[in-house]
Structures are given as C-alpha cells and as structure tokens.
C-alpha cells in the first residue's frame, strides 16, 4: 500500500477509536432526523414552511449542514492543530513522507465520514421516515458539493491559524455558533428579521443550509448562495495554503 493509503487507513482507524467524534458524527444527524421523523406533524405540509413538509425541507437539510459544520469547523481543525502541536507533523517531516500526506488523509477520512453519514441520513430518512427526495436533485448536489468545499476550506484555515488543538476548538466554536444563529438553524431563515435573512445567505453555513432547503423543495439554487460558497471556498483555501505551517 502507498504511504498515503496507509496513512488514510490509519487515520480512519483512529477516528473509529474516538468516541467523542463518533458521537457527534453519528449522533447529531441521526438524532435529528429520528426524533423529528417520529413527530407526525413534521411530515404534513406546513403553511409556515411555504406549504412544504418541514421534515424534508428543514430538518433533513439541517441535519446534513450541522454534520458538515461540526466535521469541517470543529473536528478537522482540532485534529490537525493537535497533530501540529504534538509534533506529529514534524516527526513525519523527518521521514520520507511529507506531512502534507497526513493532511490529505485526514481530510479524506473526514469527507468520507461526512458522505457516509449523508448517505445513511438519506437512506433511513427516505426509506423509513418519509423524507422526500430532493425536488431539484442537480441543484441539491451542487449545493452540497459547494457547501462541503466551502466549510472544509474554512476548517483548514482554522487549522492553519490555531497553534493548538484547544485553540482550534475554541475558534471552531466561535465560528460555528454565530453561524448557527445567523444561518437559520435556531430560527428558520424565513422567521429571521428581514436584515438577518440577507446575512444568512452570505455566510457559508447559512448559504449551505438555505441552498439545501430550497433545492430540496424543488427550487433552483439561489445564485447569491452559490457565489457566497464559492467565494468563501476560494478565499479560505488560499489563505489556509499561505498560512499553514507544519510546526
């Protein structure tokens, strides 16, 4: 097996041994769709949700966006910053394998676990809980891909600036919670004040959630949201690449 393959397999094994991370990755999205999926009213068309079924057009997109947010903004940066803080990246730099391989394998493992959980949420949700399939599947896929790239780029930027795992956690939380509030998680976007609805569309978390909700309801992806995600992805990835240090 190549060094990158071996590193990725090792990182996957380590993730499986990390109960806190598993709880977040599996528990949060599954808990949300299971709890709300069992409330009968959530499957009825609802006037407050524009006549749509809230389980499909609010809870399911939220479960996916929260999963991506936790992985990208909290778990990934905490792992990478800890690896830097403890000299694990540096140790690798002294071996024949460049530490960039560890970064790539960590990213691959986080992405893979995100994709697996999204598949599980969709499978269980659509198969057993009555969640509808996205009304605009291509738009939905575009929103998902851009959302993933954007959020993980921000995660890499946090990993680049944080000197330790603890600081990375702190920054992750500082970025994550305001984005929940402003992104229409605690209060659905349509019930936020007019001015804040605009903010929701130009922050990556809110833009991902909004785009997944709207495409799930069958609407086309909103250009402002797509541009927001693309810009955040480019800026954050470029800044992370410039700032990131191996030691």
Partner 1 sequence: MAVVEVQNLQKRYRDTVAVRDVSFTVEEGEIFGILGPNGAGKTTTVECIEGLRTPDSGSISVLGLDPRRDTDELRQLLGVQLQESELPERLKVREALELYASFYRNPADIDELLNDLGLTDKRDTPYQKLSGGQKQRLSITLALIGNPRVAVLDELTTGLDPQARRDTWELIEDVRRRGVTILLVTHFMEEAERLCDRLALIDSGSVVAIDTPAGLVATVQAEHRIRFRPSEPLNDELLTGLPEVRRVEWQQGQVTVTGTGNVVHEVTALLASKHIVAHELRVEQAGLDDAFVALTGRTIED
Residue numbers of the site for partner 1 (CB under 8 A)? Answer: 1, 3, 6-7, 10, 13-14, 17-18, 83, 86-88, 90-91, 93-97
Taking the complex as a whole, how short is the minimal distance between the CB of residue 227 and partner 1, in angstroms? Answer: 38
User: Is 94 or 223 the residue whose CB approaches partner 1 more closely?
Assistant: 94
User: Is 87 or 220 the residue whose CB approaches partner 1 more closely?
Assistant: 87
The interaxial angle of helices 194-202 and 204-216, nearest 10 deg, is: 100
User: Is 5 or 51 the residue whose CB approaches partner 1 more closely?
Assistant: 5
Taking the complex as a whole, how short is the minimal distance between the CB of residue 168 and partner 1, in angstroms? Answer: 15
Q: Do the Cβ atoms of 55 and 213 come closer than 8 Å?
A: no
Q: How far apart are CA 61 and CA 57, in angstroms?
A: 6
Taking the complex as a whole, how short is the minimal distance between the CB of residue 165 and partner 1, in angstroms? Answer: 11
Q: How far apart are CA 67 and CA 106, in angstroms?
A: 16
Taking the complex as a whole, how short is the minimal distance between the CB of residue 114 and partner 1, in angstroms? Answer: 21
CA 23 to chain centre: 15
User: Is 4 or 224 the residue whose CB approaches partner 1 more closely?
Assistant: 4
Q: How far apart are CA 20 and CA 23, in angstroms?
A: 5
User: Is 53 or 105 the residue whose CB approaches partner 1 more closely?
Assistant: 105
Taking the complex as a whole, how short is the minimal distance between the CB of residue 9 and partner 1, in angstroms? Answer: 9
Taking the complex as a whole, how short is the minimal distance between the CB of residue 97 and partner 1, in angstroms? Answer: 5
User: Is 40 or 96 the residue whose CB approaches partner 1 more closely?
Assistant: 96
């Amino acid at each position: 097996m190549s060094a990158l393959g071996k590193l990725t397999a090792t990182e996957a094994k380590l993730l499986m041994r990390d109960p806190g991370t598993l709880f977040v990755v599996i528990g949060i999205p599954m808990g949300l769709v299971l709890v709300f999926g069992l409330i009968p009213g959530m499957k009825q068309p609802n006037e407050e949700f524009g006549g749509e079924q809230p389980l499909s057009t609010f809870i399911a997109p939220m479960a996916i966006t929260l999963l991506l947010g936790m992985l990208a903004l909290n778990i990934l940066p905490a792992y990478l910053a800890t690896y830097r803080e403890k000299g694990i990246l540096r140790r690798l730099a002294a071996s024949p394998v460049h530490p960039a391989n560890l970064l790539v394998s960590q990213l691959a493992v986080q992405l893979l676990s995100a994709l697996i959980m999204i598949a599980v949420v969709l499978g269980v949700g659509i198969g057993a809980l009555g969640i509808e399939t996205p009304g605009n599947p291509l738009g939905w896929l575009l929103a998902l891909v851009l959302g993933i790239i954007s959020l993980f780029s921000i995660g890499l930027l946090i990993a680049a600036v944080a000197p330790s795992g603890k600081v990375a956690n702190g920054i992750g939380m500082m970025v994550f919670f305001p984005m929940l509030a402003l992104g229409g998680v605690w209060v659905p976007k349509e019930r936020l004040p007019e001015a804040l609805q605009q903010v929701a569309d130009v922050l990556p978390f809110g833009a991902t959630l909004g785009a997944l909700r709207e495409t799930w309801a069958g609407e086309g992806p909103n250009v402002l949201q797509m541009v927001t995600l693309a810009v955040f992805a480019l800026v954050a990835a470029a800044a992370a690449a410039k700032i990131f240090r191996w030691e």
